[in-house]
Amino acid sequence: MSLMNPFKSPCELSFKGIAHVETSDNRRRAIVIGIGLLILGVSGWSGPALKAGVRSKMGKDSPPVAHLLEPTGPHKIGTVLYDWTDGAREEQWSATLQAGRELLVQVWYPTDDIDASRPVPYVPDSDRIRASLDKDWPEMPLVKTHAAWGARLSTARKRYPLLIFSHGMNSARFYYTGLMEELASHGYIVAAIDHTFWGPGVAFPSGRVVQFEDGMEARDQLSPDEYDQMMWAGVSVMVADEVFVEHKMVELNSNSTAANLFHNRLNLSQVGAIGHSMGGYAATRACLEYTVFKACASLDGLNQFLYLRPTASSKPFLLLLNSASGTQVISQSLAKRYLASYGEPRVFIVDGTKHNSFSDVPILSPVSRAKAPSDPDKAHRVITAELVAFLDRAFGSETSKSQGIAAPAGLIDVDLRQLAKGKPAGAALQ
């Protein structure tokens, strides 16, 4: 187990444009998400309180400032990084065959105490992957996170539910920091994976660096059929990554080393899988294929690779879709396959959203914010509120705020059973 110090780097950078291609039966739909976010040194930085997404100048030559939304839960937030290698697998995406698949994993969790003067950098150690991260956007907003490095796990509960999170294609764990912080503030331990070779770059504490050109850039040369084959294989790798990380978290739960924050603190009967886009495909599959995952949430990850299973799973399942695409991306055949996979799927369209609305991008990037179909801050609140309510119900810890099953404001209820019959399935906004 290797623990990485996020304060090693004085400069933080992030975000690269995402190109995500999905298939709908024989029709291809390309979703290109323009992402640019470069984040400069927040270690030890403190500045005036600003609302999320608001930018200001800290001086004549200072970069603009962008803030994540304040988490709404009762807990403060801690975080740590782990460098883990799965020695049972070959690294099949490397140009040179190597034994073991190495993953960088960031864990967010609830805490009772925090050193607000020393927030964790948005992209720890990012100077080592600068060449991969500063290709698209020359402006560099400052971002101050709400998490403290290595803070003690909250004592409010004896054990906490565990969530395993997977990012989308050509994305990274830190693109979803706002979501991770929100979940942790509501009492969830979230292990977010950087899926090596499927993002803009990874800097491991071992000294190894995987750059953008080592992974995603090469995929631009593939034909549509080759791309689909690669993506199907990639989802399988992400599923295996999720299972491996869950096993490592179980090891932490049983590790009595004094420095271990999570000894006997995980509720291993309450483990969920979550993901965005391609990561949502993986979470959907992982929950179907592995008993350890008790609930699943897919954020705009419409899994085209499901098949007609003989028996549907009774596990709680949530699918949130963007309103730019709506239900037009769900064919009658796909609706039937979802119903054959999950017996009671909870499916909504989030009003006023695009594919990247499920990440930090439109909140932090002025360019993306200007192109958003509605207020990105409001969309974030709707998405996270429904996700927290779903998880609270799934794990039996719901509060008065998460009672009931009706679609809250900002969500359009989608009836897959109607779609499976070839009928319209979207209700009016509640």
pLDDT at residue 19, as a whole number: 33
pLDDT in tens, 375-418: 999 999 999 999 999 999 999 875 434 434 455 689 999 999 99
DSSP string, 70-127: PP-SSSEEEEEEEEEEEEEEEETTSSS-EEEEEEEEEEEEEES---TTSBPPSSTTGG
For the chain, what are the domain ranges? Answer: 2-420
pLDDT in tens, 282-294: 999 999 999 999 9
pLDDT at residue 141, as a whole number: 67
Residues in the chain: 430
Write down the CATH number for the domain with range 2-420.
3.40.50.1820
298 neighbors 277 (Cβ within 8 angstroms): no
> Looking at the predicted structure, is the pLDDT value of residue 2 above 60?
no
- Confidence grade of residue 187 (pLDDT, cut at 50, 70, 90): very high
pLDDT in tens, 299-341: 999 988 888 889 999 999 999 999 998 878 898 999 999 999 9
Average pLDDT over residues 125-152: 75
pLDDT more than 90, % of the chain? 54
| Global confidence as pTM | 0.84
Work out whether the CA dihedral 356, 357, 361, 367 comes out positive or negative. Answer: positive
